[in-house]
Amino acid sequence: MKQMLEWQDISRQGAHQGIARLDQEKRDLLETVELASEVREQHTQMGCRDIHYAMREQMPRGRDWTEQVLLDCGFRVKSSPRSFTVAGENICSNLIEGKTVTGPNQVWQTDITYVWSGGRWYYVSFVIDVYTRQILASHCSRDLSAASQVRCLAKAFASQKGEDISQLIVHTDRGIQYTSSEFKTYLDRWEVSHSMAHYAWQNAYCERVNRTIKHNYLAHYTTDSYRSLCRGVAKAVRLYNRSKPHRGLPSRLSPDQFVKEQNQGGHPDYLVNIWSPLTATNRLHVN
């Protein structure tokens, strides 16, 4: 051994330090995989980078090292296809394009997605706050009626009881549920403005939540009936709000963590600039 070390110009101390580093790297790798596995038990489709942020206080090494290790260990996730909606006739203007959102309850987005459960389709709706990224309400329905969307929105208003909603804009797509007189009358009752997306990307915040909840959570739950679907949606919303890191929030906090820190005076400069082709620096040019 001594001759081999001398031949490679390595001291005994250097050899012991090298072995120690290898041992430490092995321990770090095992600990990282164990922590990631714990996260994946609840967040089945959480990406490698978000896993690091979710467990940042316990991860033994930095973001890039953690992400590469998890990718190498088979933690990569696959994206899923998108759905579409049917447009109604009574269309509103898009009031939020290019808007700067400086606080909660200024812009909400709501949308519907389809979920297969127990041999049939059900319809799940969400209301999110664009500023906090919190899912304020969810609702599972057996039909696509406007009444179901009103019930979902009513839950969101109930969750914000006592909060200032005088500046609120509720943004939807052009689905027939949202163009109905029933939905519009309900918004008028609360004296809030109604805005509509004319393209799918103009309702992107809620579209993203739809895909995340459906493909990253519900697809991995046992939802073989309406009741089990309701339980699964409620569980997914809790996990999303409480512990899923969000890339749109400071330090990739979860929505609930962000709200807690901001209520304590944190992140005073945070705001949301809603994308507009008139203000965007990454303009799309089509020949």
Helix and strand element counts for the chain (H, E)? 10, 7
> Which element (helix H / strand E) includes 4?
helix 2-7
DSSP-H helix ranges across 146-285:
146-159, 176-179, 181-190, 204-211, 226-243, 255-263
- Mean pLDDT, the chain, rounded, equals 84
CB 150 within 8 A of CB 186: yes
pLDDT in tens, 207-239: 999 999 998 999 899 889 999 999 999 999 999
pLDDT reported for residue 57:
83
- Name residue 71's amino acid: L
The pTM of this model reads 0.72
Q: Which two tokens stand for residue 59?
A: 């991860």
Q: Higher confidence at residue 89 or residue 251?
A: 251
pLDDT reported for residue 9:
60
Rounded distance between C-alpha atoms, residue 29 and residue 3, angstroms: 32
Range of lowest pLDDT (53-62, 81-90, 172-181): 81-90
pLDDT reported for residue 3:
59
What number of CA atoms fall less than 13 Å from residue 164's CA on the CB side?
A: 5
Q: Which fold has domain 100-273?
A: Nucleotidyltransferase; domain 5 (3.30.420)
Phi-psi region of 64 (alpha: psi -120 to 50; beta: other; left: phi over 0): alpha
pLDDT in tens, 93-152: 999 999 999 999 999 999 999 998 888 889 999 999 999 999 999 999 998 899 999 999
pLDDT reported for residue 87:
46
C-alpha radius of gyration, the chain, whole number: 24
The percent of residues above 90 in pLDDT, for the chain, comes to 54
The pLDDT of residue 21 is above 60: yes
pLDDT reported for residue 81:
45
Range of lowest pLDDT (47-51, 131-135, 179-183, 243-247): 47-51
pLDDT reported for residue 56:
83
CB 66 within 8 A of CB 52: yes
The percent of residues above 70 in pLDDT, for the chain, comes to 83
Q: What is the mean pLDDT of residues 32-51?
A: 81
pLDDT reported for residue 229:
95
- CATH 3.30.420.10 boundaries in the chain: 100-273
Q: Which of 38-42, 50-54, 156-160, 218-222 has the highest mean pLDDT?
A: 156-160
CA angle 262, 259, 272 (to 5 degrees): 80
Rounded distance between C-alpha atoms, residue 6 and residue 77, angstroms: 47
Structure letter (DSSP) for residue 63: H
Phi, psi of 154 (to 5 degrees): -60, -35
